[in-house]
Amino acid sequence: MKNITQEEWEAQIAEDDNAFILDVRTQNEVDEGIIPNSHHIDIYEGQGFIDKVNELDKSKNYYIYCRSGNRSGQAAQLMDQLGFENTYNLLGGFMEWDGETTYQE
């Protein structure tokens, strides 16, 4: 797992054809807005979170965020333990995100 700033996040994703953006917040938080092209799996689902994450392609590059950066850091560490090769945690999370946002469809 690597902690990265929003600037690093945006620069890396722009160059990364293998990027997968993962939002680990609660549904109520997701309803307030998301980073475009992100996929939602709530880390508070516990074993359900692990089960869903285990279905993902471990060779992709995972850009993970939550509200503040804490839960996404935990999710990235957990995913590393599960065999994911590249996980990136957004420092400051959605709270400090000043890039483009959208709403889940």
- Catalytic-role residue among 22, 24, 66, 75: 66
Where are the chain's structural domains? 2-96
Give the predicted TM-score (pTM) of the model. Answer: 0.96
pLDDT tens digits for 12-24?
A: 999 999 999 999 9
pLDDT at 15: 97
Q: What is the architecture, at CATH level 2, of domain 2-96?
A: 3-Layer(aba) Sandwich (3.40)
Residue 89: count other Cβ atoms within 10 Å of its Cβ: 24
Angle at which helix 47-54 crosses helix 70-81, to 10 degrees, equals 60
Confidence of residue 104 (pLDDT cuts 50, 70, 90): confident
Tokens representing 24?
Answer: 């680990």
pLDDT tens digits for 38-93?
A: 999 999 999 999 999 999 999 999 999 999 999 999 999 999 999 999 999 999 99
Is 78 tagged catalytic? no
Q: Contact at 8 Å (CB) between 102 and 59?
A: no
